[in-house]
Amino acid sequence: MKIKNNIFAVSLVLVFLVALPIETKAFSLNLRGNSEVKLNNSINSILGDSKGNSNVEIKTSHNISKDTEKDGRDERGNRSEISVQSKNDVDVNSNRRFWGWLMGFIKRDENAQKPLKITGEHILTATSTATIIWKTNVEASGYVKFNADKNLVASSTKVTENTSLDLGHKITLTGLSPNTTYYLIIGSTDGNDNNKETKIIHFKTKKLPNSDSSLLKILFSGSFKIETTSANVIWITSKPTTAKIWLSSASYVNTSLAPVVSSTELSYFHNLVIADLATSTKYFYIVGGTDISGNVILASENSLETEAI
């Protein structure tokens, strides 16, 4: 009877041990009593332990019955103790970490196979700033090349970038001029150095508040100190503006061409010198400028004639 009860108890413990997480590889079982039974070889076989690291010992001789007290003593006063002890370090999170690493690796591999795409381009403009927003289908860095020159090849082309890898991108351009058209290219580079750029995009900054072009006027313009190869041209504006002069030897001066002389200084009073003129020649000219709000003003066409030698 004692042997049967011992075998039953051992069977229960073995079932419990088999149900443990697979990370548990070695244990010791002690049933303290007067007799000893060793099951090392059997347990090693169950655990697949070819090196014999598992050690199970059963030591008992008394009957564990329903009369056994709560403290482990039976009716004869014998104490039964069952202990399970692992001799190896157990990492119960090893499987969890492995699967996490594997899924992360698969995700990175999937991202590596995706061609880099730029979508959702959007530009928020102000008087002197512009915020460029876009998305990429994989994590990537971002940059913006911009200039007032639509060819974006001039040395004045600027590049603003954000080197952090992300799916959403936002770059703010600063120091822009009000009421001015700018051209830009949006670009991104992923973690595998794949690069993607958009076509040229343009936007226009906003005018300064309270700008009123009706208040901008040229109050006076004229020429003086006319000499054989040069002449001074002066004019006055109702608001501070830049200064430009367009010149032609024929009437109907084309102001879409570059001015022959100009100044970026904002002023009410303007005095510019036109040089390298031919002697005894009649010229036609138009003066004009732009105020701080971006309003442009042009005077009516006027003329002057250089002196003879």
Q: What are the pLDDT digits (tens) for 9-45?
A: 444 444 444 444 444 444 444 444 444 444 455 445 5
In this structure, which long-range contacts are made by residues 263-267, counting pairs with CB atoms below 8 Å and at least 24 apart in sequence? 266/240, 266/241, 266/242, 266/291, 266/292, 267/240, 267/241, 267/243
Same domain, 233 and 277: yes
Phi then psi dihedrals of residue 25, to 5 deg: -115, -20
Domain boundary among 204, 224, 255: 204
Per-residue confidence at 2, pLDDT binned at 50, 70, 90?
A: very low
Residue 134 domain-assigned (yes or no): yes
Q: Of 148, 153, 2, 150, which Cα lies nearest the Cα of 76? A: 2
CATH number at residue 128: 2.60.40.10
Residue labelled with tokens 């370090």: 89
| pLDDT at residue 294 in the model | 87
Q: Is the pLDDT of residue 257 over 80?
A: yes
Same domain, 196 and 234: no
Domain boundary among 204, 236, 270: 204
Structural domain boundaries, residue 129: 118-204
Tokens coding 65: 């019955």
> Which is more confident, 177 or 87?
177
Count of CB atoms situated within 10 Å of the CB of 187: 20
DSSP E strands in the chain: the ranges are 28-31, 36-38, 57-59, 82-85, 118-125, 130-147, 158-173, 181-190, 195-197, 201-204, 218-224, 231-248, 261-274, 282-290, 296-298, 302-305
Q: Is the pLDDT of residue 165 over 80?
A: yes
Residue 112 domain-assigned (yes or no): no
Separation CA 131–CA 127 (nearest Å) = 12
- Cα radius of gyration (the chain): 45
Q: What is the pLDDT of residues 55-98, one digit of tens each?
A: 444 444 444 444 444 444 555 655 544 444 444 444 445 566 76
> Which is more confident, 2 or 199?
199
Residue 296 domain-assigned (yes or no): yes
- Give residue 136's Cα distance to chain centre: 9
Q: Residue range 203-213: average pLDDT?
A: 76
Same domain, 196 and 218: no
Per-residue confidence at 250, pLDDT binned at 50, 70, 90?
A: very high
Tell me how many domains the chain contains. Answer: 3
Question: Which sign does the torsion angle of CA 110, 112, 113, 119 carry?
Answer: positive
Q: Residue range 239-263: average pLDDT?
A: 94
β-bridge mates for residue 79, sequence order: 73
Domain boundary among 76, 92, 108: 92
> Which is more confident, 136 or 149?
136
